[in-house]
Amino acid sequence: MESLIPTDEPLRQEYFMSEVNDIIHTGAIDRGKYPTYKVVTFGCQMNARDSEKLSGILSGIGYTEAKSEEDADLVLFNTCTVRENANDRLYGRVGQLKKSKEKNPDMIIGICGCMMQEAEEVEKIKKSYRHVDLVFGTHNIYKLAEILFDHLKTKKQIVDVMESADMIVEKLPNKRQYAFKSGVNITFGCNNFCSYCIVPYVRGKERSRKPEEITDEIKGLVADGVKEVMLLGQNVNSYGKGLDEKINFAMLLDEVAKIDGLERLRFMTPHPKDLSDEVIEVMKNNKKICKHLHLPLQSGSSAILKKMNRVYTKESYLDLVKRIKAAIPDISLTTDIIVGFPGETEEDFLDTLDVVKQVRYDSAFTFIYSKRSGTPAAKMEDQIDPDIIKDRFDRLLKTVQDIAAENTKKNEGKCMPVLVENNDEHLEGYLTGKLENNLTVHFKGGKRLIGEIVDVVLDEAKGFYYMGHIQTSEE
């Protein structure tokens, strides 16, 4: 039997998808319906994209999507572990599903993603959460069908976590959350080891996908109706290192922008330490590339940036922003900031506020420093008092919000292209969409416009979003 199973990927997974498909199909005939699944995603865009791949495999083997995790036949938690104590929330939800499993004994519960790359979490599940059936990490999400097959055959808890990624498995199915936009991985992992961050430990060393795999995937997506693509990597700027081809991120960006039918191109995340002038030039010269850069600052103090191992200074960051704004005057800048890193003084914090005021971000994700065990920063002395952090966090948030409100106000009355994404959940008859700078606009319209790019007049700025109306032919 074993000898019939292919050893090469993706053939091996195609074999298991077909095997599980048979089991599911036979079961569906007995039960009179196909089983349902729910993938619950925590964390960043990488995880969101991984969840689309997991959903693709599940759909491919015969599962249909459930409305909620309680009534799904298979629930998969795709976890994030960037902050300490993220596990409390997860285990609360996993614990609750025990009741659902008592009602539906065939229910399958899986946990995967970044948290499962931590040995102590896996041990905890093995010991205390016996009702969890599948456990796997970030490096082998492509193996879902094989892991599920092993469980269906043995009815045992299957734990399959790889310590590092030995290869990139291409050409497996995926099921997109949105018909008209998609993330596309260009690199996996991270080599930067910022001292507060767990990502390099749970996502492994950086690997770039081959350029033709990326462009082929995007061409396929476009043929399938995708208008907007976001290139994904923990540091997209280091794309190309280690590949046989001589290619860097600027060249890839230029190549992707040439793809016919693709209307909008974004990327996340460019590390400020190596965003090249070449990339700025490509952005400037390509209409399809959104004039938006998410440029994580983390701190405005050169001393703290050094302790964070970010490899840039307050001055070099501001200089980079100056060069970007000179080349692309209407660029929208957004950022991530951490408050309360070990040893952060009031002066350091004032440097952060100063950068925020000079750069004038359109929006910013502000985080309270989390003492993430397993990272070098967790062992640093001078961890900051939570009351002081709270005070700084509030001041930062106020500054960020005031500036964002002033920025959005400036665009009031302008007409801009909007990619229509959803029905507005709160306003009957309204739609929501995204501007090129990723800010949200709400406006009246019918749902047939979802997935289209329409011109919207921004009537009223509301801080981080707008109320608008679709431009009429008379305007």
Region of residue 446 (left: phi > 0; alpha: psi -120 to 50; beta: else): beta
Candidate residues 271, 292, 307, 314; the one interacting with ligand SF4 per rule CB under 6 A: 271
Region of residue 41 (left: phi > 0; alpha: psi -120 to 50; beta: else): beta
What distance in Å separates the CA atoms of residue 256 and residue 282, rounded to the nearest whole number?
A: 11
Angle, CA 92 vertex, CA 90 and CA 97 arms, to 5°: 100
What distance in Å separates the CA atoms of residue 380 and residue 344, rounded to the nearest whole number?
A: 12
Q: Measured between alpha carbons, how far apart are the two ends of the chain, in Å? A: 70
Does position 365 interact with ligand SF4 (CB under 6 A)? The reply is no
What distance in Å separates the CA atoms of residue 252 and residue 91, rounded to the nearest whole number?
A: 41
Nearer to ligand SF4, 192 or 313 (CB): 192
Size of the site for ligand SAH (CB under 6 A): 18
Nearer to ligand SF4, 16 or 312 (CB): 312
Does position 47 interact with ligand F3S (CB under 6 A)? The reply is yes
Candidate residues 17, 76, 80, 82; the one interacting with ligand SAH per rule CB under 6 A: 82
| Contact partner at residue 236 from ligand SAH, ligand F3S, ligand SF4, none, CB < 5 to 8 Å by partner kind | none
Does position 268 interact with ligand SF4 (CB under 6 A)? The reply is no
Q: Quick check: 133 and 153 in contact, CB under 8 A?
A: no
To ligand SAH, the closest distance from the beta carbon of 369 in angstroms equals 5
To ligand F3S, the closest distance from the beta carbon of 250 in angstroms equals 24
Q: Which of residues 174-193 bind ligand SF4 (CB under 6 A)?
A: 190, 192-193
Rg of the chain over Cα atoms, rounded to whole angstroms, equals 23
| Contact partner at residue 437 from ligand SF4, ligand F3S, ligand SAH, none, CB < 5 to 8 Å by partner kind | none
User: Which are the contacts of 134, defined by CB distance < 8 A and separation ≥ 6?
Assistant: 76, 108, 109, 110, 111, 112, 144, 147, 148, 151, 157, 158
Count of positions (residues) in the chain: 475
What distance in Å separates the CA atoms of residue 108 and residue 134, rounded to the nearest whole number?
A: 8
Does position 195 interact with ligand SAH (CB under 6 A)? The reply is no
CA-to-CA dists, residue 277 to 298, 328, 332, angstroms: 22, 12, 17
Q: Quick check: 94 and 129 in contact, CB under 8 A?
A: yes
Please give the order of strands across the beta sheet that includes 292-294: 292-294, 332-339, 363-368
Q: Which of residues 34-73 bind ligand SAH (CB under 6 A)?
A: 44
Candidate residues 200, 225, 343, 463; the one interacting with ligand SF4 per rule CB under 6 A: 200
Nearer to ligand SAH, 158 or 304 (CB): 304
Task: Convert residues 154-193 into a mask of x (bound to ligand F3S by CB under 6 A) and - (unbound).
Answer: ----------------------------------------
| Contact partner at residue 200 from ligand SAH, ligand F3S, ligand SF4, none, CB < 5 to 8 Å by partner kind | ligand SF4
Does position 46 interact with ligand F3S (CB under 6 A)? The reply is yes
Does position 240 interact with ligand SAH (CB under 6 A)? The reply is no
Q: Quick check: 427 and 443 in contact, CB under 8 A?
A: no
To ligand F3S, the closest distance from the beta carbon of 202 in angstroms equals 6
The residues of the shown chain that bind ligand SAH, judged by CB under 6 A, are 44, 82-83, 196-197, 199, 234-235, 269, 271, 296, 298, 336, 338, 367, 369-370, 372
The site for ligand SF4 (CB under 6 A) is made up of 190, 192-194, 197, 199-200, 234-235, 271
Q: Which residues bind ligand F3S (CB under 6 A)?
A: 43-44, 46-47, 80-82, 114, 199, 202-203
